[in-house]
Amino acid sequence: MDNLHVFWHEGMLKHNLGQGVFDTLHDPGFLEVLENHPENANRVKNMISILKKGPIGPHIQWHSGRPAILHELHSFHTPEYVKMLIEADAAGGKTLCGGTRLNPGSWEAALLAAGTTLEAMQYILDGHGKLCYALVRPPGHHAQPNQADGYCFLNNAGLAVQLALRSSCKRVAVVDIDVHYGNGTAEGFYERDDVLTISLHMNHGSWGPSHPQSGLHDEIGRGNGRGFNLNIPLPNGTGDRGYEHAMHELVVPAISKFKPEMIVFVIGQDSSAFDPNGRQCLTMSGYRRIGQIMRQQADQFSGGCLLVVQEGGYHVTYASYCLHAILEGVLNLPQPLLTDPMAYYPEEDTYSERIEFIKKYWQEVSESWLKESNAS
Ligand SMILES: [Zn+2]
């Protein structure tokens, strides 16, 4: 059985956004007890802990990450944007957009997140392993070529895609299940026909100048890239069966048509039932199933090669349990290794009306996307 290779570096814990009213980075003084910013080191400490001490532990080999070298960043980001980040770090910090601030230590962590993801991809490209997971923060999928957004500075997954393309891979598929639209990754490859970007997300729309993309299904790519971006906005509360349906009806056919030589699986546990940042109601069972489906796609198209990249996931307990479940699925383990300590949603009947709604909605969207995709 294949092992999972996990890439991590403790320097990523140095990024600290402090406390405030949720992610506002601001405290007007009304509350006695403030929380950490949701993108904090504790969430990742628990992810490391559960992978080391949980029952998945024997299936994992640990590897040290590394900082990215500046010129590596230019494969996805503009030199002007990188320069601005360096200057912001030298100046002692800068708020880049809502909830997203470069503090002392943040740049070092961002470079480590980017470099660690590149290291994990290189490990696959060198033939040392097939299943790699970059356990990184700060997250990256909102970072656009010239814009920070949504707690993200550097697009870790996008950089790894570029590395694969510049090596031996002719086509790379990205599947993003973080609850938010992977707008940065989509933007970076929006005019490319050698990268298929797929994102399943909450239907949150644009949230301002740092995130102008709507995430709606009519954003399908531009020019040569037309038909190579698949947005799957899902209604709040979609849940395990709704996600599995979307995977089977939309994601799997799109991957089958594209035939990628490498697959990047971008994960965020903020699509869970208990996340403060999302409303999609996935449980460990649903994440495990999605992990299995992605592993099947890798086995079918990319010779079993799958790079998993960490994004959001903000419930300090449940995100780590859901990570365990996703990786159990990726490892294609025959039985669940962990029971769900928190989910209480009934599996049957409750969802039937919602599933019918989703089926009807997506039949229309699927036909429209496939039509455009075939026309390109
Ligand atoms: Zn997210």
The reported pLDDT for the residue numbered 344 is 74
CA of 256 to the centre of ligand 1 (A): 26
The reported pLDDT for the residue numbered 346 is 59
* CA-CA-CA-CA torsion sign (89, 313, 246, 213): negative
CA of 307 to the centre of ligand 1 (A): 18
Cβ 232 vs Cβ 250: under 8 Å: yes
The reported pLDDT for the residue numbered 2 is 79
Find out whether the peptide bond into 138 is cis, omega within 30 degrees of 0. yes
What gap in Å lies between CA 260 and CA 275, rounded to an integer?
32
Domains and CATH numbers, the chain: 4-25+35-375 (3.40.800.20)
Give the other-Cβ count within 10 Å of 316's Cβ. Answer: 18
CA of 182 to the centre of ligand 1 (A): 8
The reported pLDDT for the residue numbered 375 is 73
CA of 117 to the centre of ligand 1 (A): 18
Q: What is the pLDDT along the chain (376 residues), one digit of tens a residue?
A: 579 999 999 999 999 999 999 999 999 999 999 999 999 999 999 999 999 999 999 999 999 999 999 999 999 999 999 999 999 999 999 999 999 999 999 999 999 999 999 999 999 999 999 999 999 999 999 999 999 999 999 999 999 999 999 998 999 999 999 999 999 999 999 999 999 999 999 999 999 999 999 999 999 999 999 999 999 999 999 999 999 999 999 999 999 999 999 999 999 999 999 999 999 999 999 999 999 999 999 999 999 999 999 999 999 999 999 999 999 999 999 999 999 999 876 555 556 666 777 777 778 777 877 787 777 6
The reported pLDDT for the residue numbered 350 is 55
pTM listed for this prediction = 0.94
Give the other-Cβ count within 10 Å of 224's Cβ. Answer: 13
CA of 309 to the centre of ligand 1 (A): 13
CA of 180 to the centre of ligand 1 (A): 4
CA of 371 to the centre of ligand 1 (A): 29
276-317 pLDDT, tens per residue? 999 999 999 999 999 999 999 999 999 999 999 999 999 999
Q: Active-site residues: which are they? A: 142
The reported pLDDT for the residue numbered 141 is 98
Q: Strands 94-97, 100-102: parallel, antiparallel or unpaired by DSSP?
A: antiparallel
Residue 222 CB-half CA count within 13 A: 6
CA of 270 to the centre of ligand 1 (A): 6
In the 3-class helix/strand/coil scheme, how is the chain assigned residue by residue?
CCCEEEEECHHHHHCCCCEECCCCCCCCCCCCCCEECCCCHHHHHHHHHHHHHCCCHHHEEEEECCCCCHHHHCCCCCHHHHHHHHHHHHCCCEEEECCEEECCCHHHHHHHHHHHHHHHHHHHHCCCCCEEEECCCCCCCCCECCECECCECCCHHHHHHHHHHHCCCCCEEEEECCCCCCHHHHHHCCCCCCEEEEEEEECCCCCECCECCCCCCCCCCCHHHCCCEEEEEECCCCHHHHHHHHHHHHHHHHHHHHCCCEEEEEECHHHECCCCCCCCCECHHHHHHHHHHHHHHHHHHCCCCEEEEECCCCCCCHHHHHHHHHHHHHCCCCCCCCCCCCCCCCCCCCCHHHHHHHHHHHHHHHHHHHHHHHHC
The reported pLDDT for the residue numbered 342 is 92
CA of 278 to the centre of ligand 1 (A): 8
Residue 188 CB-half CA count within 13 A: 32
